[in-house]
Each structure stands twice: as C-alpha cells, then as structure tokens.
Amino acid sequence: ETGVTQSPTHLIKTRGQQVTLRCSSQSGHNTVSWYQQALGQGPQFIFQYYREEENGRGNFPPRFSGLQFPNYSSELNVNALELDDSALYLCASSSGDRVYEQYFGPGTRLTVT
C-alpha cells in the first residue's frame, strides 16, 4: 500500500457528461500527477500539481483540468466526455526532494458509454 487513495473506484458516465475524480496523496507528499492508462498501454501523463499550481502538462486537451488543495489532495475534472476517455485514471504522489519517484494510487476505472 502506498498511502495514496483515489475515489471513486469505478464510474460509468455517458458521452457528453462531466466527471470529477479525487486523489489524496501520501503523507508528506506535496506533488500530485495524474495519468490516463488505456487498456494494454502504459500510463500517459496528463498533468502535475505542485503547491496548488499546475506544474506541467502532457498532450491532453483543455477539457481535462485539475485542482490541488492546501492539504495536497487533488481533483481531475473531465468535461464533454468522449468514448475514448474510457480508461484507468491514476494519481501518483511524490515529495519535493524526490519528485521523480512516484507512488500510485489504486486508480479509478472510468467507462464512457
């Protein structure tokens, strides 16, 4: 167990809807990164938050947005859901001095129908 928690575990949404996924980072970790993992592929970097600011972004459209709160927990919001958004969404936390050593939560499985 990494101490990183995510909610919900599973979610089913309809195309065009909006979704919010949540992540609580491991104690002492101030950096949260979000990844999308499609079936049979490696995780793809969405964005990273450090001290409540977006600190880097992958090749994802603006309808993917996020927040980080003062307690370092984070949200991922996806608007106008598309069928291709169906995936496992992973949150990873890390600490400032070893930010590249990332520890993953259990993930949220999103299905868009």
Partner 1 sequence: QKEVEQNSGPLSVPEGAIASLNCTYSDRVSQSFFWYRQYSGKSPELIMSIYSNGDKEDGRFTAQLNKASQYVSLLIRDSQPSDSATYLCAVNRDNYGQNFVFGPGTRLSVLP
**Which DSSP state fits 9?**
S
Exactly one of 45, 60, 67, 75 binds partner 1 (CB under 8 A); that residue is 45
Does residue 33 belong to the site contacting partner 1 (CB under 8 A)?
Answer: yes
- β-sheet bridge partners, residue 66: 76
Exactly one of 40, 53, 70, 84 binds partner 1 (CB under 8 A); that residue is 40
Peptide linkage before 106 cis (omega within 30 of 0): no
Q: Is 21 in contact with 6 (CB distance < 8 Å)?
A: yes
Does residue 99 belong to the site contacting partner 1 (CB under 8 A)?
Answer: yes
Residues near partner 1 (CB under 8 A): 2, 31, 33, 35, 40-45, 48, 55-56, 88, 90, 94, 99-107
